[in-house]
Structures are given as structure tokens and as C-alpha cells.
A and B are shown apart, each in its own frame.
Chain A
Amino acid sequence: MTKPLALIIEDDPQLNTIMSITLQGDFEIESCADGNAGMERLKQTIPTVVVLDLNLPGASGKEILQSIRADERLAKTRIILTTADERQAETLQDEAGIVLLKPISPAQLRELALRLRSI
């Protein structure tokens, strides 16, 4: 049985790496370092979980979020938003459902991702 796909869109390479390592045991990992790359990748694959940073170079996290929501192909894809901006986290909490405020604990991320995968 192949692992479900987790797409990590995070411009900070360290966090990107940490997230990738955190989730690699349970997910097939693909990662992008900017918004445009993430957008491109989403056209080609159907990830189970997307870990999406809101502040990205290129297409912003918000744009990507909207595009996923608009794409029926990606209807089953779950999204974990990450942000360093508390205010943004607060406002998005209502819309997006899952928002993680940085710094993110790897254990917390893994637990959340696994929970989403099982839905």
C-alpha cells in the first residue's frame, strides 16, 4: 500500500526539512519552496494533506488555499495552514479550520496530519 501524499509548501528551508522529516514516516512527501511551485505541483497531483505556509514568495498561501478550494479535483485534500502571524491565524481559524501558529511542534504536526489522513 502506497503512502498518502503530503505536499509541503514552505519557503523556509529548515522548517520545510523539519516538516518533511516529521511526516516522512507516514506520508509520501513532496515539498515546494515557493507559492508558484506549489501551485504548479497542485495541478499535477492530488495530495491527501497540504501543509501550506501563508506567507510565501510567488503565489500567496491565501491564493493557493482559494485555488484548492475551487478545484473539485482536490475536494478531498486536507489543508494545514501555518503562519507566524497570530492575527492572521485568528482570522483564518474560522475559515480554514486548521491553522497552526509557528513555531510548530513536530509531534503536534504529525498527530494532526495523521488525524486528517484518517478522515
Chain B
Amino acid sequence: MSYQFTFNMLPLVIAAAISGTLAGYTWRNRKTPGALAFSALLIILFQWIVSYIFQLAATNLPLKIIWQNITFIGVVATPVAWFIFALEFTGRRAWINRQRLILLSILPFITIIIVFTNSLHGLFRASLRLAAEGGYILLQTENGPWFWVHAAYTYTLIMIGLILIIRALLRWPPAYRVQMILILLATLAPLISNVLVVFSLVPTLLDLTPFAFTITGMGMAYALFRHRLLDIAPIARDIVIDGMKDGMIVLDANGRIVDINPAAQNIIGFSGDGQSIGKSIADVLSQWPHLIESYRNVDEAEDEITLGENDTQRWYELNLTTLRDENKTVIGQVITVRDITQRKLAERLVQESEARFRQIVENASDMIYRFDASGYLTYANPSALHAMGFEKEADALGKFFMNLTAPDARHKLKRTYQHQFVSKTKNTYHEFPGLATDGREVWFGQNVQLIFEGEQVVGFQALARDITTIKQAYEALRIARDQAMEASRAKSQLLSKVSHELRTPLGGILGYAELLHDNTFGELNAGQNKAAKEIVESANYLTNMVNELLDEAQARANTTMLQESVFSPAALLQQSTAGTEILAKKKGLQLITSITSEFPGEIRGDERRLRQIIINLVGNAIKFTREGTVSVSFLHPSSEHWAIQVKDTGAGIPREAQAYIFEPFRQVDSAVTHDNRGIGLGLSITKQLVDLMGGRITLESEIGKGSTFTILLPINKTGVTA
């Protein structure tokens, strides 16, 4: 067996695992500035510990020597990696370049060659032998002269690195003190252990340095990733400062640029790295002398500035802070410049939009105003102010809505908007009289929307119109309508009264004329007899007219009452046409009556009025027909309706006259002669009676071909008996 692994090696395995894990973790995060050097350090450390484990496990001398040599790769590389890490950690990255790296590596490289060729010259290890200690088989060496060169170089680099880190740590804010001490101890661990081993201050042959570096690695990883201390450490300056969008310029006490990030260079218009470093800020900003002027001797400033003009104009937020040391002496200034152009443009858009809407609202002829949730006016546009009689907005703002309302309307208005408020109704419309400053009543037609902030109602927004004129017109119209109705009623009453009063004297005329005509007062000669007859006829005509006038008056005043009863349609037809048949015969006309076969045997309705309608229509037909026939038919077009149809072969009614013949006092002028005169109420009354019965009257007529009047009436089912 060449190797013998024992439990004693467990601490070393753990240390290897820790440093390996950390190396892997930091390697994955090597993009973070500073992490690469740290990762390299941990990888080297890992190599050191693993090699050391194998060295310990090796059971024969030659094998042990080979592993010790391999271990030395880590041993010599560690101080260099540590030193570079320290430089990066403390913000001295700029110092590291390829040349310096090569220079730093020369001595360790020589050391490695010497270590591997030691058997030839013994410069590094003067003697070698195996020794057992605490379960380990150890290599006991006696150091040669080059070992001390190597040791000196190693401790120099470690010390410089330590000092740099400790100095940086000491500057940390007090809040990080605990972490700082932990890291400090971690950092010092390898030094302490190494010193102990090299100077044989502890009686052990075991090299404690790899353990110590593992402790260091843990401490640093804790600092790096757990507390993100590197973020605020100078090492992170690049990503924070260089990476940030805001421009940053650091000036020394003389106004020279000591640091400037790419963003600031962009803003100023400088390209390329570091061109402006070392230059006076006044020179760099010579384009904008006003800026230099404004901020000469200014300690602190927070301003918005613009650079460029028109399309290239940009806005910046400038922040200037003066840095001072403990003695309050100015050591420099930090200027940050944030590009706020987008914000400014957005603000300008908002302002323009606001102005546009304001203009619309302010110039609107409609009234627009707002109240807060308690009902106090918070805004009113000029139209609203004008309508209410306010001269300026300030006079109106803060007014309570109830006080702007006519006293009579207040209660209702309050209820309306309380309800809207409570029910959260989005939109309402309400009309009410407002109270102008001079006591005038101004009618508002008001649309009110609730203003929400989230779920909460914070006010009312109203869009309203001055409807005073409309209200007045409406009122005038209402009065006119009432008057017209009153006049119509009065007219009907008058007609009723007149027709009533006419009947009595008519009785006298008709009575005496008839008595005369009947020779009651003695025998009349032929002329007297004819005269008496004429008087009787005139009186009868006048009586008819009075009857029609009265019917019309009643119909107009809606006072006609139907008296319904069940009657026989056949009897109705017979009675209605009996009187007119004589007239038809006189004129040589044929009067034909017919009833459809399946017509109901009984019908309910106002028989007297129906008779009146039929007599009227048939009378008209006879009057205006010179020859041919007049036919009256009862039809049964559907189970719901029955119809009266009166058809003649008369002159026909002109189309234009068809539109008005159902109006009162209208007649087809050309058709009226002395023989067929009338006052033109017959069809008007007929139509009104038909309407009252829930029916419909229609007319079909053509000049020269006669006319057909059809009256369609509903059948009152309840009244029809089987």
C-alpha cells in the first residue's frame, strides 16, 4: 500500500471541501470584480490542501517527496494570489497589469524549479526523513538556504496584503465592526499559523497553513457574499460607479477631475477612458460657462439644468456635495448628474394634456364643476360661474351646495345626492332650481358622476346645462296647453248649450209648421201648403244639424258614453237601412244589405250609436251617388272582429280629400250641392264613435268608381251569447 488514509486527515478533508466549494462558488461569480482573484486564491488553496492530504497519506518517502513538491505549487502561488486579491479588495486594481504579474511570479517560479530539482542540489531541503506524530506519518525536513528566500518573499507579500486589507477594514463604518473583527481574525489566521510552524513555536511537524487559509477563505466569503461588503468596498466601485446611469464626477480641492464615470463622460461629451482625469472641471465644461459660474463657491446644490437646445435639449438633475476631512478642510467635491429628460418630456406631455383639457373645460358652454364629498365646491368653470353670477372662481370655491340651491329644492336635492353617495350610483341626472348670487333662480339640468379614489367616493363631478329657458318655455307650453284644454272644454260646453237652447225654438217652428201643414188652422191653398212643407223640412234639417253639433261637442269633450247591450245584428241592419231605403228609391238607387253567413247571431255594443253610424254612412252614400247601388254588408273577417262595409258607385273621393274628410266641418267641397248639403260633422262623429268603440274606420275610393267605407270593430266576447 502506497497510501494510507486515516481519520486523522478528516479536518484536512473538511478544509479541502470548504475551500473547494468556496472556489467553485466564487468561480461561478467571477464576473463580479474582485471575485476572480479571490476565486484563484481559493483554487490554489484547494490544490495545496489536497496535495497535502496525499503527501500525508503517502507511506513511502519517494511518494511523499513527490506530493510535497506538488504541494509547493500551491504554497508558492498562494502569496501572489493573496497579494492580488488584497489589491483588488482595496481598490488598487489599476496597479495590476500583465508585466507586474509576471514580475511577481518570477521568484515563485524559480522556487518551484528548485523544489523539484532539490535532490540534485539540496538548496531547498537540506535533509529529509519520515517521522510519525499523532497518527500521521510526516516528512521531517531541514530547510536549505533557498527556503528562507522563499519564506521572506512569501511573508512580504502576505504582510503587504494584510496591511492593505486591515487598513481598509479599519475604515469601515462602526455598524460593521463585528464582521470586521471576524474578517480580520480570518485574515490573520494563516500568518499566525505559519509563523507558529516555520519558527517551530508549536511542537508539531504538521503544516497548519492550509487550515488557516481555509478559515480565511470562509471569513472572506462571509464578507463577500453574505454581507455584500464588497459591494460598498472600493472593489465594487467599478460596477456601481461605472455601471450606473447617473453621471458622477469627483473633483479635488483645486477643481481637478480625479474620478469620472462613463455616464458623466457621455453627458459632457467626452469619449474614451480617463481622458478628462486630471483636467480642470472649468476646462472640461468650457462649453457651459454659466454652469461654472453658478456653482463656483457653492457647497451643496440640488438643481435641474438643461444642456443643448431644441431637439437635442436634455434635462439633468444635478447634485453637488462638498467633501471635507475631519478638520472641515475642503478635500474635493462630488457631482452627480442624472438624466431626467424622459421624465421632463413626460411631465411636459402631462402639462400640455392638462392645458388642453383645461382649455376645453374652461371654454365649454356647458357648466362643469366639482364638489368634495362633503358638498363644498372645489372647482367651477367660467360657464358655471357666470350662470351663478360669480365674478371670479375664488368667490365661489368652498361654497356649500345647499346654499347654491333655491330653498324649496334643497331638501330633494340633498336626498338625491345622499342617495347617490350611499348607493355609489356612478351617474345621475337631476333638474333643480339653483340660486344665483343676485337671488335669481337658475334651472340646472345636472349630470353628476361620483369621483372615486379606489373604493372611496371623494367627491362629485357635475356636467350641467342652464335649462332656465327650456323650463320657462315648458311652463309657458303647459299653461298654453291648459288654456287650450280649457278653451276646448268651454267650446264643447258652448256647443252643448247652444244646441240645447236651439231645440226649444225649433220645437216652435217645427210644431207650428206641421200644424199648419196638417190644416189644423184651416184649409191651406197650394202655395201655403208648399210653404208649410218647406218650413217643416228646414226645421228637420236644422234639427239634424243641432244633433250633429251636440254629438261632435260631446265627442270632443270626451263625454260621449257608450251604452252597451246585446243586440241582433240582423235587426240592427234592418232598422238602420229602413229609413234610408226610401231616400234611395227616390233617387232611383238600389240599396243592398247583406250579412256574412257565419256572422254571430248576437253582438254586444251600443246599438243606438251603431245605428247612427250606419245611417250616417248610408245617408252619405245615397247623397253622393247619382246612379247604381249602395250596399251595406256586415262581415266577419276574423273571430275577434266584425265589420260594417258601406259601398257605393258614386263619384268617389279625391285622394287629397281622403286625408281630411274625417276632420270636423270638412267636406269634399266640389261634391256639395243644395240637395246634399250638410255641416260636415257626420264622418267626424262617426270616426270618433268608432274610435270610442275601439274600432277602426278605413276608406277606399277612386274618382268615378265609388267609395268603400269599412269599419272594423272588436267583438266583445263576454257579451256574445251562444
A interface list, Cβ under 8 A from B: 12, 14-15, 18-19, 21-22, 84-87, 90, 101-107
Q: How far, in Å, is A109 (CB) from chain B's closest CB?
A: 9
Instruction: Flag if A106 contacts B563 (CB, 8 Å).
Output: no
Instruction: Flag if B511 contacts A22 (CB, 8 Å).
Output: yes
Complex interface bits, B485-524 against A, C-beta within 8 A gives 1, otherwise 0: 0000000000000011101101111111011001010000
What A residues does B520 contact at CB under 8 A? Answer: 21-22
Whether, in the assembled complex, B539 has its beta carbon less than 8 Å from a beta carbon of chain A, the answer is yes
Pick from B509, B515, B608 the residue with the most CB of A within 10 Å.
B515
What A residues does B507 contact at CB under 8 A? Answer: 12, 14-15, 18, 84, 102-104
Instruction: Flag if A85 contacts B512 (CB, 8 Å).
Output: no
Q: How far, in Å, is B554 (CB) from chain A's closest CB?
A: 8
Instruction: Flag if A18 contacts B518 (CB, 8 Å).
Output: no
B interface list, Cβ under 8 A from A: 499-501, 503-504, 506-512, 514-515, 518, 520, 539, 543, 547, 550, 554, 563, 608
Instruction: Flag if B500 contacts A85 (CB, 8 Å).
Output: yes
Instruction: Flag if A103 contacts B515 (CB, 8 Å).
Output: no
Instruction: Flag if B503 contacts A84 (CB, 8 Å).
Output: yes
For A110, the closest partner residue in chain B by CB is B518
For B521, the closest partner residue in chain A by CB is A21
The main secondary structure of chain A at its interface with chain B is helix
Q: How far, in Å, is A105 (CB) from chain B's closest CB?
A: 6
For A24, the closest partner residue in chain B by CB is B520
What B residues does A85 contact at CB under 8 A? Answer: 500
Pick from A22, A84, A102 the residue with the most CB of B within 10 Å.
A102
* Assembly CA distance A22 to B509 (angstroms): 14
Instruction: Flag if A103 contacts B511 (CB, 8 Å).
Output: yes
For A85, the closest partner residue in chain B by CB is B500
What B residues does A15 contact at CB under 8 A? Answer: 504, 507-508, 511
What A residues does B511 contact at CB under 8 A? Answer: 14-15, 18-19, 22, 103-106
What B residues does A18 contact at CB under 8 A? Answer: 507-508, 511-512, 515
Instruction: Flag if A107 contacts B514 (CB, 8 Å).
Output: yes
Q: Assess A102 versus B514: contact at CB under 8 Å? Given A86-B550, A90-B563.
A: no
What B residues does A107 contact at CB under 8 A? Answer: 514, 518
Instruction: Flag if A22 contacts B515 (CB, 8 Å).
Output: yes
Question: Known pairs A21-B520, A90-B608, A102-B506. 18 more at Cβ < 8 A?
Answer: A12-B504, A14-B507, A14-B508, A15-B508, A15-B511, A84-B501, A86-B499, A102-B504, A103-B503, A103-B506, A103-B508, A103-B511, A103-B539, A104-B507, A104-B510, A105-B510, A105-B511, A107-B514
Q: How far, in Å, is A6 (CB) from chain B's closest CB?
A: 16
For B514, the closest partner residue in chain A by CB is A106
Pick from B504, B512, B520, B608 the residue with the most CB of A within 10 Å.
B504
Instruction: Flag if B506 contacts A106 (CB, 8 Å).
Output: no
For B560, the closest partner residue in chain A by CB is A87
What B residues does A22 contact at CB under 8 A? Answer: 511, 515, 520
Q: How far, in Å, is B398 (CB) from chain A's closest CB?
A: 67
* Assembly CA distance A18 to B520 (angstroms): 11
What B residues does A105 contact at CB under 8 A? Answer: 510-511, 514
Pick from B511, B539, B547, B563 the residue with the most CB of A within 10 Å.
B511
* Assembly CA distance A29 to B254 (angstroms): 149
Q: How far, in Å, is B703 (CB) from chain A's closest CB?
A: 37
* Assembly CA distance A19 to B504 (angstroms): 13
Q: How far, in Å, is A61 (CB) from chain B's closest CB?
A: 14
* Assembly CA distance A87 to B500 (angstroms): 10
* Assembly CA distance A15 to B514 (angstroms): 13
For A104, the closest partner residue in chain B by CB is B507
* Assembly CA distance A87 to B501 (angstroms): 14
* Assembly CA distance A90 to B503 (angstroms): 16
* Assembly CA distance A86 to B553 (angstroms): 12
* Assembly CA distance A107 to B516 (angstroms): 12
Q: How far, in Å, is A86 (CB) from chain B's closest CB?
A: 6
For A83, the closest partner residue in chain B by CB is B503
For B543, the closest partner residue in chain A by CB is A103
For B500, the closest partner residue in chain A by CB is A84
What A residues does B501 contact at CB under 8 A? Answer: 84
Instruction: Flag if A86 contacts B547 (CB, 8 Å).
Output: yes
* Assembly CA distance A14 to B507 (angstroms): 9
For A22, the closest partner residue in chain B by CB is B515
* Assembly CA distance A103 to B155 (angstroms): 152
* Assembly CA distance A101 to B547 (angstroms): 10
Q: How far, in Å, is A9 (CB) from chain B's closest CB?
A: 15
Q: How far, in Å, is B232 (CB) from chain A's closest CB?
A: 110
Q: Sample 8 A-B pairs with CB under 8 A, ordered by A number.
A: A15-B507, A22-B520, A90-B563, A102-B506, A103-B504, A103-B511, A104-B510, A106-B511
* Assembly CA distance A101 to B500 (angstroms): 10
* Assembly CA distance A19 to B508 (angstroms): 10
For B547, the closest partner residue in chain A by CB is A86
* Assembly CA distance A21 to B521 (angstroms): 10
Q: How far, in Å, is A17 (CB) from chain B's closest CB?
A: 8
Instruction: Flag if B504 contacts A84 (CB, 8 Å).
Output: yes
* Assembly CA distance A58 to B717 (angstroms): 47
